[in-house]
Amino acid sequence: MSTPPTVEVLAQGFMTATSEGGLSYCGISLIRGAHLTLVDVGYMARRDILVERLAAIGVQPGDIERVVLTHAHWDHCLNLPYFPNAEVFLSDTEYEYAQHPNPRDWATPAFIGDLLNRTLRIQRLRDGDELEAGVRVMAVPGHSPGSQAVLVESNEGIVGLVGDALPARAAALLPTPTARIVFWDEAEAERSARRILDSCALVFPGHDRPFRNNGPRFDYLYPQSLVLRNPPRDEDGTIHADIDRGPASFVTIIQPTARRKA
């Protein structure tokens, strides 16, 4: 009997607000199965961390055979050139949209289409397509027109690497689960979030650590820590940085580019 594919987080996703703007990085995971597959690759600010963590498990960038993009937003895909031997998989709908994105869609600037077109080994997917035994994709549009989740069959049930269709545990806890930011379609975003929660036992969200779907309870799989280095300082070394310990908030933002619910 073949060994089922495994999933490991290389770089945890998170989103943190500051008084000077947001700090946000997407999660990056490695599927070990018939192929070495990265799900999302992040952008340049995480390039060194990604390469170091791959090296720590004996993998070089050239060893990566496949990259699956949950969607084509810049923060999920700009490290593509660092994996020159990889086939790149994304949804057919997302690929087509990236060729002519809405000019007001700041998450899919026009150069994303250029980046994808420079990648000669593009594979375009549809809902339900199988990548290998035990690994398939599921369409979860709304956050973007062609968002897709990668579903991996495991001994604990379906593991969903879901991108920003369900970006954080807090999104699952909303009265109506949905994306954090909706660029494409509000109603579709809600349907996609529900489809994820109905399908996945373990959820690897785009901007949070993985959690177990024990709805209505959702339990993180492991603790989180974050070290902030080089905070603002005066000449004498006095640090000027505070932690806001008030209650966390999670508010869905509907972009002007999105279709709203009737």
Res. 238: pLDDT tops 80? yes
**Collapsed DSSP state (helix, strand, coil) of residue 44:** helix
As separate numbers, helices (DSSP H) first and strands (DSSP E) second, the chain gives 6, 17
Q: What's the pLDDT at 17?
A: 87
pLDDT digits (tens, 9 = 90+) for 126-155: 999 999 999 999 999 999 999 999 999 999
Instruction: Of 36, 49, 44, 45, give the one whose Cα is nearest residue 8.
Output: 36
With a CB cutoff of 8 Å and minimum separation 6, the contacts of 96 are: 146
Res. 1: pLDDT tops 60? no
CA distances from 191 to 131, 142, 186, 196, 203 (A): 24, 8, 9, 9, 16
Q: What's the pLDDT at 226?
A: 86
Q: Residue 41 corresponds to which tokens in the numbers above?
A: 């690759």
Q: Residue 214 corresponds to which tokens in the numbers above?
A: 């024990």
- 80-98 average pLDDT score: 97
Cα distance between the two ends of the chain: 50
The amino acid occupying position 202 is L
Q: What's the pLDDT at 119?
A: 74
Question: By the 8 A CB rule, do 71 and 101 touch?
Answer: no
* Helical packing angle, 111-118 and 92-99, nearest 10°: 120
Res. 197: pLDDT tops 90? yes
Set out the domains of the chain in order of their start, with CATH numbers: 6-254 (3.60.15.10)
95-99, 139-143, 161-165, 227-231, range with the lowest pLDDT = 227-231
Q: What's the pLDDT at 118?
A: 86
Res. 47: pLDDT tops 80? yes
Q: What percent of the chain has pLDDT over 90?
A: 85
CA trace torsion 128, 204, 6, 58 (10° rounding): 120
